Amino acid sequence: MDKDNSALIEALQRSEKRFRSLIENVLDVITILDKNGIISYESPSVERVLTRDGARIDADFVVVGIGVMPRTGLAEAAGLPVDNGILVDAGLRTEAENVFAAGDVANAYHPFAGRHVRVEHWANALHQPVVAAQAMLGKDAVYDRLPYFFTDQYDLGMEYTGFGGGEVVVRGDDREFVAFWLRDGRLTAAMNVNVWTGVPEVAQRLIRSGARLDPAALADPAVPLEDMTA
């Protein structure tokens, strides 16, 4: 477990107690085909997982990550560059004239990040096609929105924005909190859980500013986020 993430882990562990009672009611033994080797979660309390090679790993809690693999076969067959998705420039153009890619499958050059980024979220799939369409029309369009998603899990609603990575600072308690990721004192991402005060907008401004932030002030709910130096 990453020491930098201890505050976030503590918040998740507190939340997990409530999920545990739900899991006990719903699951007996789930068997999944996981390429990383976990084949079952042993219930009723999800105290350990069983891997393909027979190892039993004790677990305080289990985070199940369900995602997708970019389906790039068509692009590969067409000879387009593919690396963790179809490689496109900031205007969602592939190397082939008049061929574009957007959404989950696109690994797009992101001007702010300064690298290619592939995002598997609804907001990206919603907004990238607009830029692709503009580029198709010959406009000098660039997709530079910061990654964002929202999701609702039972009575927890959350929003996340940014690229993530770095030290985690948490403001709030286990039911309502904001986690901030800081690298060299600069905000890289924020996730608000059951907090609906426009955190993503402020966080995006802070991320883009590159300003150094005081972790103690970030962790203090009495300090308005809007007052952070930016």
Question: Where along the sequence are the contacts to ligand FAD (CB under 6 A)?
Answer: 66, 68, 71, 74, 103-104, 120-123, 125, 149-151
Cα 63-51-11 angle, rounded to 5 deg: 20
Long-range contacts of 57-64 (CB under 8 A, 24+ apart): 60/13, 60/16, 61/12, 61/13, 61/16, 61/19, 61/20
Residue 73 CB, shortest distance to ligand FAD, in Å, is 7
Whether residue 82 contacts residue 75, with contact meaning beta carbons closer than 8 Å, is answered with yes
Separation CA 41–CA 210 (nearest Å): 42
CB-nearer residue toward ligand FAD: 158 or 213: 158
Of 141, 145, 95, 86, the closest CA to residue 118 belongs to 86
Q: Where does residue 79 rank: exposed (0-12), middle (13-18), buried (19+ CB within 10 A)?
A: exposed
Report the residue number, 71 or 115, with the smaller CB distance to ligand FAD: 71
CA dihedral 76, 79, 84, 86 (to 10 degrees): -100
Output the smallest distance, CB 157 to ligand FAD, in A. 10
Q: Closest CB to ligand FAD belongs to which residue?
A: 103
Least Å distance, CB 134 to ligand FAD, is: 18
CB of 148 to ligand FAD, least distance (A): 8
Query: Which whole-number Å values give the CA distances from 203 to 16, 63, 164, 179, in the listed order?
Result: 26, 25, 12, 11
Minimum CB separation from ligand FAD for residue 74, in Å?
A: 4
* Radius of gyration from C-alpha coordinates of the chain: 20
Cα–Cα dist 93/99, whole Å: 6
- Judged by beta carbon, residue 112 or residue 150, the one nearer ligand FAD is 150
Please state the closest distance from residue 1 (CB atom) to ligand FAD, in A.
Answer: 25
Pick 147 or 166: Cβ nearer ligand FAD: 147
DSSP 8-state class, residue 145: P
Taking the least distance from each CB to ligand FAD, the nearer of 125 and 219 is 125
Query: Residue 80 or 217: which CB sits closer to ligand FAD?
Result: 80
Shortest Cβ 106–ligand FAD spacing (Å): 8
Taking the least distance from each CB to ligand FAD, the nearer of 15 and 169 is: 15
